[in-house]
Protein backbone atom coordinates (compact mmCIF):
# COMPACT_ATOMS: atom_id res chain seq x y z
CA UNK A 1 0.00 0.00 0.00
CA UNK A 2 1.24 3.47 -0.82
CA UNK A 3 0.00 7.00 -0.39
CA UNK A 4 -2.13 8.30 -3.26
CA UNK A 5 -1.56 11.86 -2.07
CA UNK A 6 1.62 13.76 -1.25
CA UNK A 7 2.91 13.43 2.29
CA UNK A 8 5.90 13.98 4.52
CA UNK A 9 5.67 10.31 5.48
CA UNK A 10 6.11 9.35 1.82
CA UNK A 11 9.09 11.69 1.60
CA UNK A 12 10.80 10.04 4.59
CA UNK A 13 9.97 6.50 3.40
CA UNK A 14 11.06 7.01 -0.22
CA UNK A 15 14.20 8.88 0.88
CA UNK A 16 15.19 5.86 2.96
CA UNK A 17 14.51 3.47 0.06
CA UNK A 18 16.54 5.67 -2.32
CA UNK A 19 19.42 5.74 0.15
CA UNK A 20 19.64 1.96 0.53
CA UNK A 21 18.73 0.86 -3.02
CA UNK A 22 20.34 2.30 -6.17
CA UNK A 23 17.66 0.88 -8.46
CA UNK A 24 14.91 2.52 -6.40
CA UNK A 25 16.87 5.77 -6.43
CA UNK A 26 17.25 5.79 -10.23
CA UNK A 27 13.79 4.52 -11.19
CA UNK A 28 11.47 5.93 -8.52
CA UNK A 29 13.44 8.44 -6.47
CA UNK A 30 12.45 10.24 -3.31
CA UNK A 31 9.78 12.82 -2.63
CA UNK A 32 6.41 13.55 -1.09
CA UNK A 33 4.95 12.19 -4.34
CA UNK A 34 6.75 9.73 -6.61
CA UNK A 35 5.89 7.62 -9.64
CA UNK A 36 5.20 4.36 -7.78
CA UNK A 37 5.90 1.30 -9.95
CA UNK A 38 2.89 -0.63 -8.64
CA UNK A 39 0.50 -1.00 -5.72
CA UNK A 40 -2.76 0.42 -4.49
CA UNK A 41 -2.90 3.98 -3.23
CA UNK A 42 -4.78 5.17 -0.18
CA UNK A 43 -5.46 8.80 0.71
CA UNK A 44 -3.93 9.81 4.02
CA UNK A 45 -3.04 7.66 6.99
CA UNK A 46 -6.69 6.60 7.30
CA UNK A 47 -6.78 5.32 3.72
CA UNK A 48 -3.58 3.30 4.08
CA UNK A 49 -4.64 1.83 7.43
CA UNK A 50 -8.06 0.86 6.05
CA UNK A 51 -6.50 -0.97 3.07
CA UNK A 52 -4.01 -2.84 5.26
CA UNK A 53 -6.71 -3.90 7.70
CA UNK A 54 -9.00 -5.17 4.91
CA UNK A 55 -6.47 -6.96 2.69
CA UNK A 56 -4.74 -10.08 4.08
CA UNK A 57 -0.97 -9.86 3.66
CA UNK A 58 -1.02 -6.14 2.86
CA UNK A 59 1.88 -3.95 3.95
CA UNK A 60 1.70 -0.18 4.19
CA UNK A 61 3.26 2.80 5.89
CA UNK A 62 1.75 5.51 8.05
CA UNK A 63 3.03 8.21 10.36
CA UNK A 64 4.35 6.69 13.60
CA UNK A 65 2.16 8.86 15.85
CA UNK A 66 -0.95 7.80 13.88
CA UNK A 67 -0.04 4.11 14.16
CA UNK A 68 0.61 4.39 17.89
CA UNK A 69 -2.53 6.43 18.57
CA UNK A 70 -4.67 3.88 16.71
CA UNK A 71 -2.98 0.79 18.19
CA UNK A 72 -1.83 -0.51 14.81
CA UNK A 73 0.77 -3.26 14.43
CA UNK A 74 4.23 -1.77 14.00
CA UNK A 75 7.48 -2.72 12.35
CA UNK A 76 10.16 -0.07 12.11
CA UNK A 77 12.82 -0.31 9.41
CA UNK A 78 16.49 0.58 9.51
CA UNK A 79 18.25 0.96 12.82
CA UNK A 80 15.10 1.60 14.83
CA UNK A 81 13.85 -0.86 17.40
CA UNK A 82 11.38 -3.48 16.25
CA UNK A 83 7.99 -4.33 17.65
CA UNK A 84 6.04 -7.34 16.46
CA UNK A 85 2.90 -6.80 14.45
CA UNK A 86 -0.61 -7.95 15.13
CA UNK A 87 -1.11 -11.71 15.50
CA UNK A 88 -2.92 -11.86 12.14
CA UNK A 89 0.33 -10.92 10.37
CA UNK A 90 -0.72 -7.49 9.16
CA UNK A 91 1.95 -4.92 9.87
CA UNK A 92 2.47 -1.27 9.06
CA UNK A 93 5.92 -0.05 8.12
Domain containing 76 — which CATH number?
A: 3.40.190.10
The one-character DSSP state at 5 is: S
User: What pLDDT, on the 0 to 100 scale, is given for residue 32?
Assistant: 93
Range of the domain at 76: 2-92
If one counts the domains in the chain, the total is: 1
Please give the Cα distance from 84 to 61 (Å, whole number).
Answer: 15
pLDDT in tens, 2-48: 889 999 889 988 998 999 999 999 999 999 999 998 888 889 999 99
The pTM assigned to this predicted structure is 0.70
Amino acid sequence: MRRADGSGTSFVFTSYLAKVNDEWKSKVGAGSTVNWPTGLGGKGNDGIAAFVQRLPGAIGYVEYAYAKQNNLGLHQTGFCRRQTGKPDGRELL
